[in-house]
Amino acid sequence: MSNKDTAVSPKTATKLQRPRLYKVILINDDYTPREFVILVLRAVFRMTEETGYRVMMTAHKMGTCVVVVCARDIAETKATEAVDLAKEAGFPLLFTTEPEE
C-alpha cells in the first residue's frame, strides 16, 4: 500500500434554520356549545379546564383565538383532530392553521 497525500478540505459549516412555526387558530361560531369547545381544547390540546375556558372566551369575544404555536405537521394534525372530533359530535367547530409571522 502506498501512502498518498490526500487533500482533505474542511467541510463548510451549514447553519440549520429553525423550522417555521404555525399557529392553530380557534374560530368562534354561534352553534357549538361552550362546554364542548372546552372539552375539545382539553382533549386535543391538553389544556386545563381554566385555560380552555379562557381560550374559548377569547375566541367568543374576539372572533378568533390562537390556541397553540408549533411545528407545521403538529399544528395541522391537532387542527384536523379537533375538527374531526366536532364533526363526529355534529358541531361546526372550526380550527385553522397559518404560519406565524
Confidence (pLDDT) at 17: 83
Mean pLDDT of all residues belonging to the chain: 92
Label residue 40 left, alpha or beta by phi (over 0 means left) and psi (-120 to 50 means alpha).
alpha
**Confidence grade of residue 101 (pLDDT, cut at 50, 70, 90):** confident
What's the rounded Cα separation, in Å, for the pair 81 and 45? 10
Length of the chain in terms of residues written: 101
C-beta neighbour count of 45 within 10 angstroms? 18
| Non-local CB neighbours of 72 within 8 Å, separated by 6+ positions | 19, 20, 21, 22, 97
Structure-block grid coordinates of residue 72: 407545521
User: Which residue, 45, 47, 57, 54, is CA-closest to 83?
Assistant: 45
pLDDT digits (tens, 9 = 90+) for 38-82: 999 999 999 999 999 999 999 999 999 999 999 999 999 999 999
Task: Name the percent of the chain lying above pLDDT 70.
Answer: 90
pTM of the model: 0.81
